[in-house]
Homo-oligomer: A and B are copies of this chain.
């Protein structure tokens, strides 16, 4: 059976939306709600039915009104709104980290399915998608093997990353002055400065900013294969941040400063400086990653 995370997420969003409508105000049409909540009308109707059951929506057909005076609205717990696929990824990463991260470890679909409390189909589907990240490999009719978060993995990853990033940075620097990307880059620059100010408390927010920064650069010359490679980078770094918490604040601070130099070089349109700043940043990012790879 399908999970109903779509419905639950939509319901929670609907509560939010409805709370901004005054008591007695008309409920938007099903089509409008569908567009806002990003679900089909079928799900909208299910949400409305649930709202009615909680007494938040009254009347029927074309004459539905919002009642916000009643008792507190009860949203579903956040965890029940996460699609299964996303949960599996999270849990798999945790599993790698906690238990069996040695290169060569066999991955047993059945065991994972039992441990995660889902059917083997879900595990299989996840592993098939995860395969492209280069960390696991399939042995037909036998299982999967974890190839390990090794030094060679990090080196190979960064070789490609450097090629892609340099190429995108050059493309960005060559963009005309009226390209909207410059404004976006300026906004990101400000975000970097703000984060630097609050670094003591907000250093965890760097991960997301980092990902957005590098994605902005590669959007200067879109290429689906490069974009897809950035998905890998993002996941690996997310994984890595959980793995290695050592010196996190300090590392992030250094990275922010490197980004700022890099951004300034881009604004300066000086290709040589851009390449220098880009390489410098990637080298330090590589060192960080290398420090937490497993030996062999």
Within 181-229 of A, Cβ neighbours of B (below 8 Å) are at 223-226, 228-229
* Chain B contacts for A272, CB-based, 8 A: none
* Chain B contacts for A141, CB-based, 8 A: 6
Q: How far is the CA of A167 from the CA of B164 in the complex (A)?
A: 12
Q: Which of B83, B224, B232 contacts A140 (CB 8 A)?
A: B83
Q: Quote the shortest CB–CB distance from A160 to chain B (angstroms).
A: 5
A16 at the interface (CB under 8 A from B): no
* Chain B contacts for A129, CB-based, 8 A: 128, 131
Within 17-61 of A, Cβ neighbours of B (below 8 Å) are at none
Report copies per complex: 2
Which of A141, A225, A228 has most chain B Cβ within 10 Å? A225
**Known contacts A125-B125, A128-B128, A132-B132; A225 and B140 CB within 8 A of each other:** no
A72 at the interface (CB under 8 A from B): no
Q: How far is the CA of A153 from the CA of B131 in the complex (A)?
A: 22
Q: How far is the CA of A156 from the CA of B225 in the complex (A)?
A: 7
Q: Which residue of B lies closest to A229 (CB)?
A: B225
* Chain B contacts for A132, CB-based, 8 A: 132, 228
Q: Quote the shortest CB–CB distance from A105 to chain B (angstroms).
A: 18
Within 126-174 of A, Cβ neighbours of B (below 8 Å) are at 128-129, 131-132, 134, 140-141, 153, 156-157, 159-160, 163, 167
Is the CB–CB distance between B160 and A228 below 8 Å?
no
Is the CB–CB distance between A224 and B163 below 8 Å?
no
Within 259-274 of A, Cβ neighbours of B (below 8 Å) are at none
A121 at the interface (CB under 8 A from B): yes
- B-contacting residues of A (Cβ < 8 Å)? 6, 83, 121, 124-125, 128-129, 131-132, 134, 140-141, 153, 156-157, 159-160, 163, 167, 223-226, 228-229, 232
